Amino acid sequence: MFWCAGCSSQLRAGGANSGGKSSSAPTTAAQGGGTSPLARTRLAPGTVTMPAAGMHCHMTGSTPTTYRPDPACTPGTVEDTVTQNNIDSTICVTGYTTKIRPPASATDKVKRDLYGAYGVPDSTTSELDHLVSLELGGSNDPRNLWIEPGSLPNPKDTVENALHKAVCDHKVTLAAAQQAIATNWTTALAVTGAGK
């Protein structure tokens, strides 16, 4: 996760994606469709691509326990190189996320663009968050990033940690955890049974 307490919320021009392959975003349950698999992307470790220019996103919820991203802007995407077959050598290895997390210098413009797109004021305590967390195989694609208001740690962190543990303990499949958190992180533990 990326922390930003005073990022500029001015949306800048530009924002074409660079580097990496990505597939088009599917309709998810959160968007009123079925439970189509999440888009898979392949980015070089430690890189992040830019969001589309001129996005206008609307967050739902009114407290840190209910804030959710706009599914049209942030449907969630997952890293193509992480699969159910290799979780024990990727996401379940201590230090995995440090190898793929982009440095702050690479996320500054992404932060500015998404803060502007989500209309979050500079003074709001918030973070640039992966909807599908890196520890669940989420990608650094901008379709997986949103502005999450609230202080750290936040309620979503607890959900991410519980899902990660359930996946690494082979109690919940990777795909089920990814889909549940992307569809509605506030119900993901109940949907997967990881909250028991």
pLDDT of 88 over the 90 cut: yes
- pTM, two decimal places: 0.80
Higher pLDDT, 113 or 133: 133
Confidence of residue 36 (pLDDT cuts 50, 70, 90): low
Position 74 scores a pLDDT of 94
Q: Which residues contact 108 (CB under 8 A, 6 or more apart)?
A: 7
Neighbours of 112 (CB within 10 A): 18
The distance between the two most distant Cα atoms of the chain, rounded to a whole number of Å, is 46
Position 116 scores a pLDDT of 86
Higher pLDDT, 21 or 119: 119
Give the number of C-alpha atoms closer than 13 A to the C-alpha of residue 105, restricted to the C-beta side.
0
d(C-alpha 47, C-alpha 34), whole Å: 31
